[in-house]
Chain A
Amino acid sequence: MEQTFDVAVIGGGAVGCAIASALVRESLQVVLLEAAVDVGAGTSKANTAIWHTGFDAKPGTLEARLVARGHHLLTERQADFGWPLERTGALLVAWDADQLSRLDSIIANAQANGYSKVEVKSASQVYELEPNLGAGALGGLLVPDEGLLDPWSIVIALATDFVVNGGTLRRKAAVTGAKRAAGAHELQTSTGSVRATWVINAAGLNSDVVDRLLGHDGFTIIPRRGQLIVFDKLARQLITHVILPVPTATTKGVLVSPTVYGNVLLGPTAEDLIDKSATGTTAEGLATLLAKGRAIMPSLIAEEVTATYSGLRAASEHSDYCYDAFPDQYVRVGGIRSTGISSALAIAEHVVADLRERGVKMAGLAAPTTVQIPNLAESRMRPYQDAARIAADPAYGRVLCLCERVSLGEVRDALTSPVPASDLDGLRRRTRALAGRCQGFHCGAMITEMTSAWSGHSHA
């Protein structure tokens, strides 16, 4: 049998990539096993992309603590990776008397979570902050530190960091079985077996299945679908903050939010399902969103829709993350439901601390390699705007995707990077090519051909 890794991380979403990157930076031999053709192709690609403070989390939970810490760590590590963050602030709006009466308890909840910057706003102040809101807002709360993040770049940055610092990434490696032999785990995957002393389960929607493969049975995932509508970039000027509803017991509710890419999001729905692969949209779901969107911001609905999608929250029967470290050298990181991008770095920090406490020998890398992730955010300079960069390499001056202003240079980089895109979807997440308003009318054929040529796959 080949090498025994110190740690095998199962699942290459935001959480698994964050953990893998943190561990490899502690000089451990780490393998990251991802079932899909790409990292970040599960729930981490299809969410609302809010940079949560955790003000509304349930006080005392691990989730509340890790989201707050993760929010901070995203800023702290921004210089290393270059991912965009925008502190737009969130405006939580009360639309009826009952909701208005619940604002006090939301402030109290935030304070219990150690967050004391929530500001009360009158109805007129609410409209001053967001003039395009629909009629009927009675008041609200401003949460100044909520904002926007770029889930795609965060995952790619962390996976890249992992690989350039010596980690072993195996894509298309679904873990299908596990046994223990000679003090280590032996994992069967769809592309060969892997030995590792420790196993970390960050398998998202499948974390309950993997938990059972590893001889545990701690929780059951109940996928909760969220459908979303992405509006055209021309709608971006309608809105400044993340506009939140007053949350209910089961969901944060339907929000309207800008994105770092310069679009506007409307969603998500919250539907409990059984099927973990049901990531399609439905007519009812989209109709519900449009109706809510029309009430929240009527002018938004007049804009063109660029995309619709849905993601599945890995909810469980527990009202917290399903986290535990076990004596059989297994760490469960399951049920990371609706805050996992914001908390990913804190979850990773938590895992590192837990392993260290359990005697795993670590030593921070003396000179870790850092790789800046290409910028997809509208708030910063994009390659097409960068005269110096184009002068140095004309490929950045050849715009292939007009809607999203994606250059040939960026497409080439994404297809040849340390964690290269292997399909159109992966290319879209790394560059935004084909993610724009024309959805391939102009550039679809050319970009598909380029992707096939570079990655050696064929895509119809």
Chain B
Amino acid sequence: MPDLPQPTDEDVDVVIIGAGPAGLTLAHALGELNIENVLVIDRDTQPGGVPRYSDHHGYGLRDLRQPLRGPIYAGHLALRAVKGGARIMTEATVTDINATKRTIEVTAPSGRVTIKAKVIVIATGCRERPRAARLVPGTRPAGVFTTGWLQRLVHLQHGSPGKRAVIVGAEHVSYSAVLTLRHAKCSIVAMVTERSRHDSFTAFNIGARARWRFPLLTQTTVTGILGDHQVAGVQIQDAKGRMKVLDCDNVIFTGDWISENELARRAGLVIDPGTGGPAVDARLATSAPGIFAIGNVLHPAATADICALDGAHAAAGIADYLGAPGSWPTRSLRLRTEGPIDWVSPNLLPPTARTAARGKVLVQFNERRRLPRLEIVQGGARLWSGYVPWGIPTRPVPISDSWLAAVSATGPDPILRVLP
């Protein structure tokens, strides 16, 4: 563990909360811009965020342009950040943010400290919605997991969830759970989703199911968890109302993401009603000057490389802010949505920002659409319209950010909507 800040009010230029792909990539990018006093704080024992324990391929494609296993990817990002001059403090938990004083409260084995920063970046990621929050009734036995718990259990603790699993959800992360379960030699009884089909890549679905032979039960609801001390089964109901019990000893609730937004809310930042995370503009600045947010706390859940590229993008805005904090333009319009859209990110529109991370704005549908057409209007004016390659729940789709320059700072809130 690197040296921990001892004085109760250390001053740093930038403090980044969360050493996941987003936070670590930002730390590196700030180093490239010669911003020196950067501190990354993570509550975990090691930096890396989710990929650290998500031990399979598929990381690093868009940002590092090579396919890496999660832990290797995490290690690479952490090393690069440290080489660039950032300090990483682990086993340190941020318990509060004061947006006006721009301070954070940190609890670590070395002490309870207050750190003052010119810029605070929230990069706390997202989590999966657990069983209780989905209001799945029944008993409360052991053996009910999320993918996050499962992957830590298997890859960090070398434990096993059981022998027969039911997977709830059929999105990307659900197939990530399949890989982890097979690694732990746990068979898969079924994958269950309320939707009419899976939401992942066809290749993942066909590949995984052909290899490990489990059924995908669509339009099926989990109506109860059975078992006294250990899960003894899962009760399900299909579209026709037929009930059935799946015999299993563990259940994995996958996906259905929630922004890890506690700090953002405690700080009193404007929260976007769609993402549940802090509202941000194209610079990834939040509603409070000097507070930025990046990664899946903003858009639960994009892939890790997209989170990392948020980090790379935010560095420029942070450098601008550090250069002239007094003249930071904050008056913002909200980007509102209409139609079958869960959220859009970024979702604040300041007068000056012209480009978004990767030149893309992310849109999440909540209903399946084939080759959907979207438009953005402000008052009577159409700022943009175009087709997007997919409209799939749980899979954010990128649209161009070319329209940002056309937004009128004095106009009403622009609206993003799906055209018939």
Q: In the complex, which residues of chain B have a beta carbon less than 8 angstroms from the beta carbon of A304?
A: 129, 133, 258
B139's nearest neighbour on chain A, judged by CB, is A280
Contact present for A449 and B137 (CB under 8 Å): no
Contact present for B95 and A405 (CB under 8 Å): yes
Contact present for B111 and A387 (CB under 8 Å): yes
State the Cβ distance, B414 to closest chain A Cβ, in Å.
25
Partner of B109, one of A234, A282, A387, A395: A395
Q: Which of B148-156, B297-305, B350-358 contacts A (4 or more CB under 8 A)?
A: B148-156
Complex: how many Å from CA A449 to CA B132? Answer: 22
Q: In the complex, which residues of chain B have a beta carbon less than 8 angstroms from the beta carbon of A306?
A: 132-133
Contact present for B111 and A281 (CB under 8 Å): no
A213 interface contact, C-beta 8 A: no
Q: Which of B71-79, B159-167, B210-218, B367-375 contacts A (4 or more CB under 8 A)?
A: B159-167
Given contacts A402-B93, A439-B146, A444-B145, contact A397 B110 (CB under 8 A): yes
Contact present for B148 and A387 (CB under 8 Å): no
Q: In the complex, which residues of chain A have a beta carbon less than 8 angstroms from the beta carbon of B262?
A: 234, 403, 437
Contact present for B157 and A460 (CB under 8 Å): no
Complex: how many Å from CA A407 to CA B92? Answer: 11
Contact present for B132 and A307 (CB under 8 Å): yes
Complex: how many Å from CA A460 to CA B162? Answer: 7
* B window 81-125: CB within 8 A of A: 91, 93, 95, 107-112
A309 interface contact, C-beta 8 A: yes
What total count of A-B pairs have CB within 8 Å? 127
State the Cβ distance, A226 to closest chain B Cβ, in Å.
14
Complex: how many Å from CA A229 to CA B146? Answer: 20
Complex: how many Å from CA A371 to CA B274? Answer: 48
Interface of B is mostly: mixed
Given contacts A397-B112, A449-B157, contact A460 B143 (CB under 8 A): yes
Q: In the complex, which residues of chain A have a beta carbon less than 8 angstroms from the beta carbon of B322?
A: none
B261's nearest neighbour on chain A, judged by CB, is A234
Complex: how many Å from CA A397 to CA B105? Answer: 12
B140 interface contact, C-beta 8 A: yes
Contact present for B142 and A460 (CB under 8 Å): yes
Given contacts A305-B133, A444-B149, contact A398 B127 (CB under 8 A): no
Given contacts A234-B262, A402-B93, A460-B250, contact A442 B108 (CB under 8 A): no
Complex: how many Å from CA A280 to CA B228? Answer: 10
A386 interface contact, C-beta 8 A: yes
B4's nearest neighbour on chain A, judged by CB, is A397
Partner of B137, one of A230, A285, A385: A285
B105's nearest neighbour on chain A, judged by CB, is A385
Complex: how many Å from CA A391 to CA B132? Answer: 37
A390 interface contact, C-beta 8 A: yes
Contact present for A279 and B109 (CB under 8 Å): no
Complex: how many Å from CA A277 to CA B141? Answer: 13
Given contacts A385-B107, A394-B109, contact A445 B132 (CB under 8 A): no
Contact present for B140 and A309 (CB under 8 Å): yes
State the Cβ distance, B180 to closest chain A Cβ, in Å.
12
State the interface size on chain A (CB cutoff 8 A). Answer: 47
B336 interface contact, C-beta 8 A: no
A286 interface contact, C-beta 8 A: yes
Flag A279-309 by CB within 8 Å of B: 1 or 0 each.
1111101100010000000000000111111
A441's nearest neighbour on chain B, judged by CB, is B148
B143's nearest neighbour on chain A, judged by CB, is A460
Q: In the complex, which residues of chain B have a beta carbon less than 8 angstroms from the beta carbon of A459?
A: 142
Q: In the complex, which residues of chain A have a beta carbon less than 8 angstroms from the beta carbon of B265?
A: 234
A434's nearest neighbour on chain B, judged by CB, is B149
A446 interface contact, C-beta 8 A: yes
B366 interface contact, C-beta 8 A: no
A115 interface contact, C-beta 8 A: no
Q: In the complex, which residues of chain B have a beta carbon less than 8 angstroms from the beta carbon of A399?
A: 43, 93, 95, 107
B223 interface contact, C-beta 8 A: yes
B231's nearest neighbour on chain A, judged by CB, is A460
Partner of A439, one of B110, B112, B130: B130
Q: In the complex, which residues of chain A have a beta carbon less than 8 angstroms from the beta carbon of B91?
A: 398
Complex: how many Å from CA A307 to CA B144? Answer: 13
Complex: how many Å from CA A402 to CA B42? Answer: 11
A129 interface contact, C-beta 8 A: no
State the Cβ distance, A273 to closest chain B Cβ, in Å.
14
State the Cβ distance, B201 to closest chain A Cβ, in Å.
24
State the Cβ distance, B134 to closest chain A Cβ, in Å.
8
A82 interface contact, C-beta 8 A: no
Contact present for B107 and A446 (CB under 8 Å): no
A440 interface contact, C-beta 8 A: yes
Q: In the complex, which residues of chain B have a beta carbon less than 8 angstroms from the beta carbon of A441?
A: 127-128, 130, 146, 148-149
B221's nearest neighbour on chain A, judged by CB, is A283
B135 interface contact, C-beta 8 A: yes
B69 interface contact, C-beta 8 A: no
Partner of B127, one of A277, A279, A442: A442
Contact present for B138 and A281 (CB under 8 Å): yes
Complex: how many Å from CA A438 to CA B128? Answer: 8
Q: Determine which residue in B43, B139, B149, B228 has the highest number of CB atoms from chain A within 10 A of its CB, and name it.
A: B149
Given contacts A390-B111, A391-B111, A397-B110, contact A286 B137 (CB under 8 A): yes
Complex: how many Å from CA A437 to CA B262? Answer: 10
Partner of A440, one of B107, B146, B162: B146
Given contacts A390-B112, A397-B112, contact A439 B139 (CB under 8 A): no
Complex: how many Å from CA A279 to CA B137? Answer: 11
B131 interface contact, C-beta 8 A: yes
Complex: how many Å from CA A286 to CA B91? Answer: 38
Given contacts A437-B127, A460-B143, 20 further A-B contacts (CB under 8 A): A234-B262, A234-B265, A277-B228, A280-B138, A285-B137, A304-B129, A384-B112, A395-B109, A398-B109, A399-B93, A399-B95, A405-B107, A424-B142, A439-B133, A440-B145, A441-B127, A444-B152, A445-B149, A445-B152, A460-B250
Q: Enumerate 17 A-B pairs (CB-CB under 8 Å) in ascending A order.
A: A277-B228, A280-B138, A281-B137, A283-B135, A286-B137, A305-B135, A385-B95, A387-B111, A387-B112, A394-B110, A397-B109, A398-B108, A398-B109, A402-B93, A405-B95, A439-B133, A445-B152
Shortest Cβ-Cβ A-B pairs, 5 listed: A439-B130, A394-B109, A445-B153, A445-B152, A399-B93
